[in-house]
């Protein structure tokens, strides 16, 4: 079986977009293939594809599908079709900055391109492939920079899924772990279950077991206990969006950061610079609220009394001051630099 670190979660194949169907894991490993941007938007919403970088690439490829199948006679007509696709894709998930970043980048390329609509369309497809390649490249660099922070024997806690399945390949928070292990360091990963969608239990353990990386699964509520018992000495999580003030990431991240601070455990955030939204006067981010059924049901079976009121935010926000370092493709960036909006060259 091919290791997860060599697979691609999202890929352009023969004029279609192929994805690993993450709603079927860990029971079944299957690919699904999409032919238009509406299907891609639905796949993002329903979490067939998830994880901020993977969502960004999927959206870029969604616009590429719109370009590739267009019969537009003029550039203006093509741009307006791509704009319509962008409107639908932007509504798919509101928190992941990579989604907006990738859509803006691809629309800009289309606007700047010269020539016949067909030529502009191929330029759009090409750019979506470039974004995918850059994602893998960034993750490999995150792996190198992050591995330098890890020592032989470390026990690293991670949350949600931040591996190949959350990116095009290799992952963000799992990248330093992969690279350190390749360098011969012996690591133990502690993965949180990640209620309610169970990305940690279903996806992270699947990825790590498949790649023979030692992993122990804990329930979310056990984080404080394992830290206090010394069963963890570092924490690395991913991010859906980093602003100058906070990190928006899978709900539960803030509590992990607080527990890490209380137990003097360094808490790192691993993310490509495409996840950083450092617009100057920007402090509000829409935190996605998902269906109550994600909380009230497990495996299709209701586990709570009928009629109970539910609040189900998919993400939370962690102040940047709680972050020991941001592991990016450009190096490890301190919180005060992020506050100042500086990510390096």
Please give the positions annotated as active site: 240
C-beta of 123 vs 268, nearer to ligand MRU: 268
Shortest distance (Å) from residue 165 CB to ligand MRU: 9
Q: How far apart are CA 276 and CA 294, in angstroms?
A: 28
C-beta of 70 vs 318, nearer to ligand MRU: 318
Choose among 199, 263, 255, 257: nearest CA to 226.
263
Shortest distance (Å) from residue 24 CB to ligand MRU: 15
The secondary element (H helix, E strand) that includes residue 216 is: strand 215-218
Label the pairing between strands 155-158 and 234-237.
parallel
Query: Quick one: how far is CA 231 from the chain centroid?
Result: 26
Q: How far apart are CA 212 and CA 156, in angstroms?
A: 16
Shortest distance (Å) from residue 163 CB to ligand MRU: 8
Residue nearest to ligand MRU (CB): 238
The secondary element (H helix, E strand) that includes residue 262 is: helix 253-262
> Residues 199, 50: contact at Cβ < 8 Å?
yes
C-beta of 51 vs 325, nearer to ligand MRU: 51
Give the DSSP letter string of 315-339: EEEEEGGG-SEEEETTEEE-HHHHH
Shortest distance (Å) from residue 63 CB to ligand MRU: 20
Helix (H, G, I), strand (E, B) or coil at 8: coil
Helix (H, G, I), strand (E, B) or coil at 204: helix
C-beta of 67 vs 248, nearer to ligand MRU: 248
Q: Which residue, chain included where needed, has tokens 């670190």?
A: 5
- Partner residues linked to 268 by β-bridges: 236, 325
Q: Which residue, chain included where needed, has tokens 């490890």?
A: 332
Where along the sequence are the contacts to ligand MRU (CB under 6 A)?
A: 50-53, 160, 162, 166-167, 172, 199, 238-240, 249-250, 314
Shortest distance (Å) from residue 53 CB to ligand MRU: 5
C-beta of 117 vs 238, nearer to ligand MRU: 238
């Amino acid at each position: 079986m091919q290791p997860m670190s060599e697979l691609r979660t999202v890929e352009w194949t023969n004029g279609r977009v192929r994805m690993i169907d993450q709603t079927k894991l860990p029971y079944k490993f299957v690919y699904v293939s999409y032919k238009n941007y509406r299907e891609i938007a639905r796949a993002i919403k329903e979490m067939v594809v998830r994880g901020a970088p993977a969502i960004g690439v999927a959206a870029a490829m969604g616009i590429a599908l719109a370009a590739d199948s267009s019969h537009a006679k003029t550039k203006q007509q093509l741009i307006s079709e791509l704009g319509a696709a962008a409107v639908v894709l932007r509504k798919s998930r509101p928190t992941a900055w990579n989604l907006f970043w990738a859509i803006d980048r691809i629309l800009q390329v289309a606007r700047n391109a010269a020539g016949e609509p067909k030529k502009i369309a191929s330029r759009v497809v090409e750019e979506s492939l470039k974004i995918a390649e850059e994602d893998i490249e960034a993750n490999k660099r995150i792996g190198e920079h992050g591995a330098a922070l890890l020592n032989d024997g470390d026990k690293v806690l991670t949350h949600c899924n931040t591996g190949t399945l959350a990116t095009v390949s290799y992952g963000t928070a799992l990248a330093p772990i992969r690279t350190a292990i390749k360098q011969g360091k012996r690591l133990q990963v502690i993965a949180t279950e990640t209620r309610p969608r169970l990305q940690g239990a279903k996806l992270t353990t699947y990825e790590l077991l498949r790649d023979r990386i030692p992993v122990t699964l804990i329930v979310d509520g056990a984080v404080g206990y394992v830290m206090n018992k010394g069963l963890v000495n570092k924490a690395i999580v991913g991010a859906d969006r980093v602003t100058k003030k906070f990190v928006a990431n899978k709900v539960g991240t803030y509590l992990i950061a607080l527990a890490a601070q209380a137990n003097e455990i360094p808490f790192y955030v691993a993310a490509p610079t495409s996840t950083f939204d450092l617009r100057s006067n920007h402090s509000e981010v829409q935190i996605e609220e998902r269906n109550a059924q994600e909380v009230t049901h497990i495996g299709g079976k209701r586990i709570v009394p009928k009629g109970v009121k539910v609040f189900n935010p998919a993400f939370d926000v962690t102040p940047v001051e709680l972050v020991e370092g941001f592991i990016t493709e450009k190096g490890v960036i301190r919180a005060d630099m992020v506050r100042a909006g500086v990510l390096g060259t």
